[in-house]
Amino acid sequence: MTAIRLLLVDDDPLVRAGLALMMGGAGDIEIVGEGSDGDEVEALVDRTHPDVVLMDIRMPSVDGLTATERLRARADAPQVVVLTTFHADEQVLHALRAGAAGFVLKDTPPAEIVAAVRRVAAGDPVLSPAVTRQLMAHAAGPRADTRQARARDRLAALNDREREVAVAVGRGLANAEIATGLYMSVATVKTHVSRILAKLGLNNRVQIALLAYDAGLLEE
């Protein structure tokens, strides 16, 4: 089995050392590079060709949110898991809207961080219960009616089956779980997800989930 190529980006060398030790114990993950600031990320990606970037938010020159946005705007960009010590609502939303496929706190148990990298590499988003609660609070917060109307207008481009898949993605279900719940093959689920991304101009499953939350579909 091909190892998952992982790039670590954090301004604290002790944190990078700890992550390297943690990830090094996973036989299916290969650390291909390390960076200490967001302004290094694109050059490192060009040089190391990672599948996943584990990215800190707070860095001295270019923060992880800006670096994520720049990276995800590129063709064939790697997936990004944002790693941080705090979980303010706006930081979570900014990271996910920038194109991050997951948001993990640094005090998350090591096995769960390793699992997050594996899951993102497999094409599934990482939405922890804490992040899910924040998304739900955001969907019900200020300007919720305006966001809901705009989100529903965008989702009108989907057919009924694509809409069902979008809701399932919003619930954080993996492809296999969606396939079982909607009585279709995993390959068909992947095809629907690709069509949803193309129709809505999104770049990953987490952004589908955000749109589903904004539209209020997960409350129906």
**Token duo for residue 15:** 């944190």
Alpha carbon distance 135, 137 (integer Å): 5
Query: What tens digit of pLDDT does each residue of 172-188 get?
Result: 788 889 999 999 999 99
Tell me 216's DSSP state.
T
User: Do the Cβ atoms of 90 and 82 come closer than 8 Å?
Assistant: no
Task: Tell me what pLDDT residue 208 has.
Answer: 87
Query: What tens digit of pLDDT does each residue of 135-154 get?
Result: 656 555 555 667 788 889 99
Element (H, E) at 101: none
Query: What tens digit of pLDDT does each residue of 114-130 get?
Result: 988 998 888 777 765 56
Task: Tell me what pLDDT residue 158 has.
Answer: 95
Alpha carbon distance 42, 186 (integer Å): 32
Our measurement of the distance from residue 60's CA atom to the centroid of its chain's CA atoms, rounded to an integer in Å, reads 23
Task: Tell me what pLDDT residue 134 has.
Answer: 61
Alpha-carbon torsion 97, 112, 14, 7, what sign?
Answer: negative
Alpha carbon distance 117, 89 (integer Å): 22
Nearest to 44 by CA among 156, 54, 208: 54
Top-confidence residue, 74 or 95: 74
